[in-house]
Amino acid sequence: MIESKLQIINRLGLHARAAAKLVHTAAAFESQVTLVKGDEQVDAKSILGILQLGAPQGSQVSIRCEGKDQEAALAAVTELITGRFGEDD
Amino acid sequence: MEEMQGLGVSGGIAIGKVVCISTQIFDIYQIPLPPSEVDREVERFHAAVQRTREDLGRMQQRVRSELGSDLAGIFDAQNLVLADGAFLDLVVRRIRGEHVNAEWALQETAQEIQARFDAIDTDHLRERSQDLRDVCRHVVRSLRGLHLHALSEVSGDVVIVADDLTPSDAVRLGRENVVGFAIEHGSRTSHTTIIARSLNIPAVAGLNGINHRLAEHPEAMIILDGTNGLAILNPDADTLARFRRRRIEMERQEEQLLAERELRPETLDGEEVRLMANIDLPEEIDDVRRYGANGVGLYRSEFLYIEKSPDLPTEEEHVELYRSLVEAAAPYPAVIRTYDLGGRKIAREIMETREENPVLGLRGIRLTLARPDVFKTQIRALLRAAVFGDLRVMLPLVTIPEEIQEFQSRVDAAAQELVREGLEMRRDFKLGIMIEVPASALISDLLAKEVDFFSIGTNDLIQYALAVDRNNEHVAGLYRPLHPAMLRMLRLVVKNAREAGIEVSLCGEMAADHRMTPILLGCGLRTLSLAPRQVPSLKRRVRELDTRPLAEIVKNCSDMPTAANVREYLQEHGLADAPGTRFT
């Protein structure tokens, strides 16, 4: 299992469209991808899970990946979040 | 025959058979299952999910090809919910753990998630409940073996009567033999009514009690007039014939609309008239170009407040919206009116006091100045959005120059603040005021020294000048736009603006009234602002007029004693009976 700590930096936070992108990204990998915020953790392949987390801009989250392609999964998810989900701000 | 007044949310006339649908999640009962049936119940659930995905996929495909990918995106979230393994697992675990039927397990799980959504304190992160509800309803339908397309079994045109409709219902039904929506609740700003407008299906919302009344007439016919917000149950033959004629007429007009948007709005004698768009909702911004309007003549920013209610819009939300307005209007200006709440419009969150006589009370610029904290957010956003193009600011209900001066000093303060924060902004946007109170019309020469433009708001100007509330049936007959007092005021304001060298336009409903066009041109107006959809037909109207005799005609009209005299005189000059009028 590998883990990385990140901050949500896009202005709208993990809103519906960003959450959808995260699900699409995570679902492309075999590994289990978990999103942790505080003491809550959710499956990053679950749109409802991510949305229930309610992570606005500035939230500190951890990404945990476990499985055969865990390095690639972590890299992809990290890139998505640090790249502001492809949003302008 | 029975007439009901509602809220017209999508224009046009629909005539059809009534089909009532209940969009509540069906009555769901908790049914205990023997352990031996649990596996089969889980299978039944998965099969229903699969069927729903296929149905939604087809629907999304159709929406994409017919309405474009923007609206099809509404279904993305629903598809993701249906593909959400963690969510489906929760339902399955509940079926297995509690030995209950799939409908019950689904509803309970959805309600738990709903409660957690509701607890999130950031607005835009909390908005997904509709998608979840919509998905659950489809799955429950599918569990019961109900087809999504049973409506095609009703022959002929159908008007759907519902207590409320979800967006996907609206799309699905809108592509069947459905010609109209009569909605007991609902508002102009809901996704459903936006879809109705995009599909060009007449819709009337706010029809309180319609389901109840129809319960007694299962075989009812209904006429919907989405333009005037009217529903007529079981119309008689005369009424039917009358609305059929009107519908044919409206359809013919609509066909010509798009063909005419490229026409130059130029009169026979070569006078250019600028036709700008009045915008309420962000969804209408695309209409500015679609209908060939020359920029945005009036954005009513209070709609942003109404949409976000009970919260206040953030500075970023203001900036984002203003930017899209400015960009849609380019190369023409976008005029943003500061929020005009109060009066009849709801301002619960901003205004704490109840007033005896709100139309003469704390509204327009008075209310905005009275709440510096709320107004500052808007001022900062206007300054910031001004960097994106020709953004202009307009103040409503100004009656004294001090209100303009006070606004200016607030803008100066906000500008300094933005400079300190290092944010980009422009202070040199053009500033205008609405002329909508007789007092400001009469001192428009003095007010002209304070601003760069006037926009005459005839809706309020008429009611204040004539002391008539046109929604009051007892005096509505006295609501006469052609009253000589109105003509005198219009001429005076235009003259004063011209002499001061500032721009003047008109943005009330008069602008869209073809019978009024020669009068307005005769008053000297050359810029009119109206709903974007009405722009193309007004272009045609402008093109058939010759402005040269009009100034003289209008001057004569303003010396006549009554509106009836004015109308007769205009008829003599062949001016009062333009086709497609909405004049009363």
Q: Which residues contact B394 (CB under 8 A, 6 or more apart)?
A: B298, B335, B336, B337, B338, B431, B432, B433, B434, B453, B455
Q: What is the share, in percent, of chain A residues with pLDDT greater than 90? A: 62
Residue B312: HSE in the Cβ half-sphere, 13 Å Cα cutoff: 16
* Mean pLDDT computed over B111-121: 81
Number of domains in chain A: 1
Q: What is the pLDDT of residue B379?
A: 97
A15 is catalytic: yes
Global ipTM: 0.80
SS3 B455: strand
Cβ pair B137, B81 in contact under 8 A: no
Q: Does residue B126 sit at the A interface (CB-CB below 8 Å)?
A: yes
Residue A71 Cα, gap to closest chain B Cα (Å): 23
A:B CB pairs within 8 Å: 57
Convert the pLDDT of each residue in B179-194 to its tens digit.
Answer: 999 988 766 555 567 6
Q: What is the share, in percent, of chain B residues with pLDDT greater than 70? A: 83
CA distance B49 to B477: 58
**CATH classification at residue A15:** 3.30.1340.10
CB contact under 8 A, A48 and B113: yes
In A, which residues are within 8 Å of B131 by CB distance?
16
Q: What is the pLDDT of residue B348?
A: 45
SS3 B327: helix
CA distance B217 to B279: 39
Q: What is the pLDDT of residue B70?
A: 62
CB contact under 8 A, B84 and A47: yes
Strands (E), B171-313: 178-183, 203-205, 221-225, 230-233, 274-279, 296-300
Cβ pair B211, B23 in contact under 8 A: no
CB contact under 8 A, A16 and B77: yes
Q: Does residue B538 sit at the A interface (CB-CB below 8 Å)?
A: no
* Mean pLDDT computed over B341-352: 50
Q: What is the pLDDT of residue B153?
A: 53
Convert the pLDDT of each residue in B535-566 to its tens digit.
Answer: 988 998 999 999 999 999 999 999 998 888 88
Q: What is the pLDDT of residue B290?
A: 85
Between these two residues, B123 and B220, which has the higher pLDDT value?
B220
Judge whether residue B230 has pLDDT over 80: yes
Q: Does residue B75 sit at the A interface (CB-CB below 8 Å)?
A: no
In A, which residues are within 8 Å of B127 by CB distance?
16
CA distance B267 to B270: 5
Token couple for B28: 């769901």
CB contact under 8 A, A20 and B76: yes
Q: Taking all residues of chain B, what is their mean pLDDT, rounded to a whole number?
A: 84
Candidates B538, B479, B485; CA nearest to B507 is B538
* pTM for this model (two decimals): 0.58
Interaxial angle between packed helices B372-385 and B401-421, expressed in degrees from 0 to 180 and rounded to the nearest 10: 70
Judge whether residue B198 has pLDDT over 70: no
CA distance B486 to B502: 21
Convert the pLDDT of each residue in B150-181 to its tens digit.
Answer: 455 566 788 888 877 766 667 667 666 789 99
The alpha-helical segments, DSSP class H, found in B467-574 are 484-500, 517-522, 535-543, 550-557, 563-572
Query: In order of start, what are the domains of chain B with their CATH numbers?
Result: 2-24+150-253 (3.50.30.10), 35-143 (1.10.274.10), 260-572 (3.20.20.60)
* Mean pLDDT computed over B345-352: 47
Q: Is residue B536 reached through a cis peptide bond, with omega within 30 degrees of 0 on the bond before it?
A: no
Token couple for B510: 């008069």
Judge whether residue B148 has pLDDT over 60: no
Best probe of the A interface among B90, B91, B125, by most A CBs < 10 A, is B125
- Nearest CB to B117 within list A14, A42, A52: A52
Convert the pLDDT of each residue in B311-331 to its tens digit.
Answer: 788 999 999 999 999 999 999
Residue type, B34: P
Range of weakest confidence among B298-302, B341-345, B446-450: B341-345
Q: Residue A15: which domain range?
A: 2-86
Q: Does residue B423 sit at the A interface (CB-CB below 8 Å)?
A: no
Q: How many helices (H) and strands (E) does chain A have?
A: 3, 4
**Catalytic choice (A8, A10, A15, A19):** A15
